[in-house]
Amino acid sequence: MSTLRIAPQPDAVDERANWSADLYAEALGAGRGPLFLRREDGWLLPLEVERWCADPDAADLDVLERCEGAVLDVGCGPGRLVAALAARGQRVLGIDVSEAAVARTLGLGGQALRRSVFDSLPGEGRWDTALLIDGNIGIEGDPQALLERMYHVLRPGGLLIAETAMKSDLDERALVQITDARSTVGAPFFWARVGTPALLQYADHAGWIPVDQWSSGGRSFVALRGRNTEWLTPSQGTVAAIR
């Protein structure tokens, strides 16, 4: 399995400062890039701003069809999935550390809060479905910690849908910065990218079992449920209100 390991980050970085920086906010406002995550060795990971700001594509719709009950979209970005679920009459909340992302989600008619997934969350332990789409398994560069956190965010038997990297042997943790390839903003922060095999390994250690894997539109996804939990139906364990 291909792995990139970087020395520990010397100083704690507030993730909000990076994703609320001008370059990211301007890209979301314009609905287009170019925008990248720049690794320390200069390699650039394109951020698909145009797709994030467009209507849900076929792969997104496939994800939305699988959502059960009340849905938490972690790292909702500009809100296309939140808005689409809300339009279907589904209870949904997006969380994101970017002010611009939250504002755009609200503008589309969705509900969203500026919040890290590692903060206290409304309805914690009662969400039926959680989404980690568009590379958000990489949040804070620690898929294991993120999956452990999601175990406590969802209700017993809740559904977690995560998007994985198409390169199946990928398992990378790196220091990155946001850039438009001309200027770079913010302090370096950790980000991760994992293919399906690595994600399943992390999920196993975090108490999840895989219930589905699929590819659509050149993207790949995994659906997980918690191990050794009582499998409730959405109507039994749903979030009563979003505050």
The model's pTM: 0.88
What are the residues facing 199 on neighbouring strands?
none
- Is residue 58 within a helix (H) or strand (E), and if so which, with residue range? helix 58-66
- Within-domain flag for 3: no
- Within-domain flag for 151: yes
- Within-domain flag for 38: no
Into how many domains does the chain fold? Answer: 1
- pLDDT reading at 168 higher than 60: yes
- Within-domain flag for 210: yes
pLDDT per position as a tens digit, 174-229? 999 999 988 877 789 999 999 999 999 999 999 999 999 999 999 999 999 998 65
- Within-domain flag for 183: no
Evaluate whether 217 touches 57 at the Cβ level (below 8 Å): yes
- Within-domain flag for 39: no
Q: Which structure tokens are listed for 74?
A: 């972690």
State the Cα angle at 25 between 140 and 67, rounded to 5°.
60
Note down the domain range covering 121: 57-173+192-237
Residues 165-184: b if buried by 16+ CB within 10 A, e if exposed:
beeeebbbbbbbbbbbeeee
Look up the CATH number of the domain holding residue 211.
Answer: 3.40.50.150
pLDDT for res 116: 96
Q: Which structure tokens are listed for 60?
A: 């997104």
pLDDT per position as a tens digit, 4-25? 333 334 344 455 555 546 889 9
- Within-domain flag for 150: yes
- Within-domain flag for 99: yes
The residue whose two tokens read 């399906």 is 196
Closest among 142, 162, 150, 157 to 117, alpha carbons compared: 150
